Amino acid sequence: MINVAIVEDSDSDSILIENYIQRYSQQKKVEFNIKRFDEAISFLSEYREGYDIIFMDIELPNINGLEVAKKIRRIDKQVILIFVTNMAQYAVRGYEVNALDFIVKPVNYAVLNQKIDKSLKIIKVNQDDELVISRSQGFIRVLISEILYLEVTGHKIHYHTIEETIVATGSLTEYEKRLKNKNFMRCNNCYLVNPRYIKSIYGMTITMKNDDELLISHPKKKKFLKELADWLGQGNFV
């Protein structure tokens, strides 16, 4: 599922873009979740990380799309921004906010098709390097490389990252499968550990680089230490 926001004050342009995305969806067999906003303030007030693509008019009332994009970039470095504009000379300023591209009105399906193709290639690469975590308030993206460890308590998963701890509903077994190729290791039934952030192991205790201490269970110890030794043997270092 690709999450898309359309921020466009012209109702006819907004509907046209949505219809073109739905047409693309039917032709390419890609699922989209589309949400339309007719002004920037409401979009910013409820913005949550989790959008994959934002189509944004540059000439919005009260605040222009470039200023909106700057605010978005402070909280979301990954989302793909595509400007939609009547004036191509403004669109070249998209580099200031790392915009992927721009579309000049009137919007043409063939052009939009190309922009979505380009976006999906980038999203596929990004998805290999990040998790999109669903929460009651919306979504948040987390770089896998910044996760120290995952912890399960009841039906909740705590994602301990470099900057914060994020709590969401989930299954540790599911994430163990998803993160296997990223070398995450199970040290007991409660923890899934990123070995890059292990500071030390003493006895049955792992000390992470943020000084959190995690216990190794007896049933998991042999497998965990073998996986860690294999990982270190590949030239990786903690």
The rounded distance, in Å, linking the Cα atoms of 190 and 217 is 10
| 195 upstream amide cis, omega within 30 of 0 | no
What is the share, in percent, of the chain residues with pLDDT greater than 90?
51
- Are the C-beta atoms of residues 215 and 188 closer than 8 Å to each other? yes
Residue 11 has pLDDT above 90, yes or no: yes
Burial letters for 157-183: b for 16+ Cβ neighbours within 10 Å, e otherwise? bbbbbeeeebebebeeeebeeebeeeb
More confident residue, 35 or 122: 35
Q: pLDDT tens-digit profile of 136-158?
A: 777 787 888 899 999 999 889 99
Walk across the sheet containing 80-85 and list its strands.
32-37, 2-7, 53-57, 80-85, 101-104
- Return the higher-pLDDT residue of 82 and 64: 82
Q: Which residue has the tokens 């596929």?
A: 124
Q: Is residue 197 pLDDT above 60, yes or no?
A: yes
Q: Is 3 left (phi over 0), alpha (psi -120 to 50) or beta?
A: beta
pLDDT at 92 over 60: no
- Output the pLDDT for position 224: 94
> pLDDT at residue 235 above 80?
no
Cβ-proximal residues to 129 (8 Å cutoff; 6+ apart), any chain: 143, 144, 145
Do the domains spanning 2-129 and 136-233 agree at the CATH topology level?
no
For position 16, what pLDDT does the model report?
A: 98
Where are the chain's structural domains?
A: 2-129, 136-233
Classify 136-233 by CATH class.
mainly beta
Half-sphere exposure of 112 (CA within 13 A, CB side): 23
pLDDT tens digits, 110-142: 999 999 999 998 888 776 678 888 777 777 878
Residue 70, pLDDT above cutoff 90? no
Residue closest to 72 by CA, chosen among 90, 53, 91: 53
Is residue 234 pLDDT above 90, yes or no? Answer: no
Check: CB of residue 123 under 8 Å from CB of residue 52. Answer: yes
Which segments of the chain are extended strands (E)? 2-7, 32-37, 53-57, 80-85, 101-104, 130-135, 138-143, 147-153, 156-161, 165-169, 185-186, 191-193, 198-202, 205-208, 213-215
What kind of fold does domain 2-129 have according to CATH? Rossmann fold (3.40.50)
Mean pLDDT of the chain: 88
